[in-house]
Amino acid sequence: MKKIADNLIWIIGQGGLLGSALSQQLSLQTTPWTLWSQPLKFDWKNNFTLINQFKHSLAEFEKATASFQGWTILWCAGAGVIGSKENALNQETQNFSSFLALLDEFFTTNSKKGTFFLASSAGGIWAGTKSFPITEFSSPFPISEYGHQKLAQEDALKELAQRHPNLQILIGRISNLYGPGQNLEKPQGLLSQLCRSALLQVPMNVFVSLNTTRDYIHTADAAEMILRSLKQIGEKHSSQNCTTKIICSEEECSISQILSYLKHLTSHPPLISHPENLIASQQPKELIFRSECLVSSFKCRPLFEGLNELLCAQEKQLQLGALPFPQAV
């Protein structure tokens, strides 16, 4: 029999980089959270099937919450990146809106206190900002369709929270995630791609200046920060039921500095080229984040340490023949 004080937690997108890290961190937590096993693997490419899967899963989740005092849903799904096609990004927002519509109905039969976390993009939301450092109080300034869609998803969630006072939401605007297990087939994850390039000595394209500066956060640190933030908003007594938090390391690093780190760690830097690409116009030269909301004492691992960990993980993959070779472009 589960304790009535427990909180049932559902990670949507548990197989992804952030979702898997959150699942792993939850296993290390002393907080009374119980991870719920989603009964179906969502078919994100078939809208009709997906809606029915949402309905079924929400119904099963509602039944499971009967043994718990409250519930938490972490939305970590989405394959879109800057440069993704507009129709693909629109579809992701539509999928999210469809889930929220069903969650709206969920509240008609479930009056328990609920919490919803949305993984959003700090870089997408503030890409056009020129005033640094960027904090939670900086005005949004998206310059790509990706950023606009992320903002639309946030707004949809806020509208739902306005209709349901017993729903508390946390929006995590995350800087650049990196870590072992990143999908190397997706056109993102610069650090993972650079590490693979250095190990295999296969050239790769970098579409922005080597002076481009970003904030990189290890996925385990991001997951820990998110869970601590959720715990804090659950403990505070406030009439405000919506909180936005920047999930970042507060350590800026240029691509040229990353190449220097990799040369030190592997004795040979990645082989890179600089082809012209329209995506570069959607990428700001620098982004500097400082969080002024929640979890003020958390210290992320240094980037050099995280890169070394990432390289070691890819070296193990390489030895096992499991490190995917980059496709020819």
Cα distance from N-terminal residue to C-terminal residue, the chain:
55
Secondary structure class of 62 (helix, strand, coil): helix
Average pLDDT over residues 89-104: 96
Would the CA dihedral through 58, 64, 66, 70 be positive or negative?
negative
Residue 107: pLDDT band (50, 70, 90) is confident
| Listed residue (329, 212, 230, 244) closest to 25, CA to CA | 230
Give domain limits for the chain. 7-178+218-247, 190-214+250-287+302-319
DSSP per position, 230-257: HHHHHH---S--EEEEEE--S-EEEHHH
- Is a pLDDT exceeding 70 seen at residue 88? yes
Digit-coded pLDDT (tens) for 121-179: 999 999 999 999 999 999 999 999 999 999 999 999 999 999 998 899 999 999 999 99
Digit-coded pLDDT (tens) for 207-228: 888 999 999 999 999 999 999 9
What is the rounded CA–CA span in Å between residue 309 and residue 218?
10
| Listed residue (298, 228, 168) closest to 28, CA to CA | 228
CATH architecture label of 7-178+218-247: 3-Layer(aba) Sandwich (3.40)
Question: What's the predicted TM-score (pTM) here?
Answer: 0.94
Q: Which residue has the higher pLDDT, 274 or 226?
A: 226
Secondary structure class of 8 (helix, strand, coil): strand
What integer pLDDT is reported at residue 110 of this predicted model? 72
| Listed residue (73, 31, 29, 70) closest to 54, CA to CA | 73
DSSP β-ladder status, 252-254 and 213-218: antiparallel
CATH number of 190-214+250-287+302-319: 3.90.25.10
Q: Which residue has the higher pLDDT, 187 or 256?
A: 256
